[in-house]
Amino acid sequence: MFGFFKSRKTQPEVAASVSTNAAAEAATEVATEVPSEADSTPKLSWAQRLKSGLARTRNTFASQIAGVFGVGAKIDEGVFEELETVLLSADVGVEATQRLIDKLRGRVKRDRLADASQLRDALKAELVDLMAPLERPLDTRGNKPFVIMLAGVNGAGKTTTIGKLACRFQAEGKSVLLAAGDTFRAAAREQLAEWGKRNNVEVISSQAGDSAAVIFDAIQSARARGIDVVLADTAGRLPTQLHLMEEIRKVKRVIQKADASAPHEVLLVLDANIGQNALMQVKAFDEALGLTGLVMTKLDGTAKGGVIAALAARFGNRQPIPVRFIGIGEGLEDLQPFRVAEFVDALFG
């Protein structure tokens, strides 16, 4: 092996409890971010919850759209200007907005549309077409263990996302192991340990260990026991913290020492509340890690859900990074694969 691990124990430390003080400090956060069994029971269908979760974005978007596309209104330059304002206010972004407006102008000429109310369905169709490349479901077949590395800024929801993904993979009949690679924040280890306990999933953890070493041990352990999926947490960091971005590059390199083909998925977790700042985060983390997918969380708490359209337009002719999952609540069932048609339907109400 390589010298980096010579002084480490040969057996991984498994779900080690943090100190009493750290546990006390983390208790409140764990309680709020790990929903109870009662809370996790879905009362509505996913389509209903998605519509409810996107209420703030829809109130900004659909209600204003209705004013622009009023029955009897004529299609003129004023209509396109109003529509441009609505799209930008929903954080669709300049590039995506311009693309949508250009497409709509083309439809008006091609289909000889005259009434502004006809543009509503045309806009829905163009939004679906724009975001279609983002709909590429995560496929964990082909590698065992399938190693998923999660990254993001502080507070984006990485650890909670890992817990929900673990539940999802287990429901699909897969065995799961969690790697507590966020060794900086004690609450993260405590939170992940709680998810592991609740779902009867083992957590590889260390109070003082190096993040890369913890994940390395987890992959080795998963391989020895025939585990299907390894979910690797990492500490939150801002893209502007260059030393921390270099550190996460190191984590990926060490993962590749455990398995040359890993990580098989690199997910960036994004808080929908940041709006257009998501574009900067995607660019920075993609340059550092080579992202393969995105998870958009907290869509229920923002009016900026249109940023998903901005993500679709960001990369020009290059294939955009897919949105693997979206989250619209704290319940276990509130993290689901991104499906364009149902998202747009919920957006329009």
**Mean predicted confidence (pLDDT) in 320-344:** 92
Say what the pLDDT of residue 315 is. 60
Q: Which fold has domain 9-36+140-339?
A: Rossmann fold (3.40.50)
Q: Rounded mean pLDDT of 122-148? A: 95
The residue-averaged pLDDT of 110-124 equals 88
314: confidence class by pLDDT, cuts 50, 70, 90: low
Distances (CA, A) of 320 to 131, 137, 152, 233, 278: 9, 14, 18, 24, 14
Q: What is the mean pLDDT of residues 169-198?
A: 89
Spatial distance between the Cα atoms of 318 and 22, rounded to a whole number of angstroms: 45
pLDDT of residue 12: 41
Closest CA to 346 of 120, 68, 55: 55
Q: Residue range 250-278: average pLDDT?
A: 95
- Closest of 170, 171, 190, 152 to residue 30, by C-alpha: 190
Tell me which architecture the domain covering 48-134 has in CATH.
Up-down Bundle (1.20)
In the prediction, which pLDDT does 6 show?
34
Q: Which pLDDT score, from 0 to 100, does residue 146 have? A: 98
Mean of per-residue pLDDT scores for the chain? 84
Helices 242-258 and 211-225 pack at an angle, to 10 degrees, of 20
Angle between helices 119-131 and 94-111 (to 10 degrees): 130
Q: How confident is the model at residue 10 (pLDDT cuts 50, 70, 90)?
A: very low
Q: Distance between CA 88 and CA 75 in Å, rounded?
A: 20
DSSP 329: S
The candidate with the shortest Cα–Cα distance to 232, out of 220, 224, 244, 246, is 220
Q: pTM here?
A: 0.85
Helices 119-131 and 340-348, packing angle to 10 deg: 150
Q: What is residue 71's predicted lDDT score, i.e. its pLDDT?
A: 58
The pLDDT value recorded for residue 5 is 35
Determine the average pLDDT of the residues in 333-342.
93
Q: How do the domains of the chain map onto residue ranges?
A: 9-36+140-339, 48-134
pLDDT band for position 206 (50/70/90)? confident
CA angle 270, 31, 235 (to 5 degrees): 40
Tens of pLDDT, residues 34-77: 554 445 544 778 888 898 888 888 887 777 887 787 756 788 88
Q: Is the peptide bond before 145 cis (omega within 30 degrees of 0)?
A: yes
Q: How far apart are the first and last CA of the chain?
A: 57
pLDDT at 7 over 50: no
pLDDT at 126: 94
Most confident of 195-199, 335-339, 345-349: 335-339
Per the DSSP assignment, residues forming a β-bridge with 267 are 150, 293
pLDDT for 136: 95
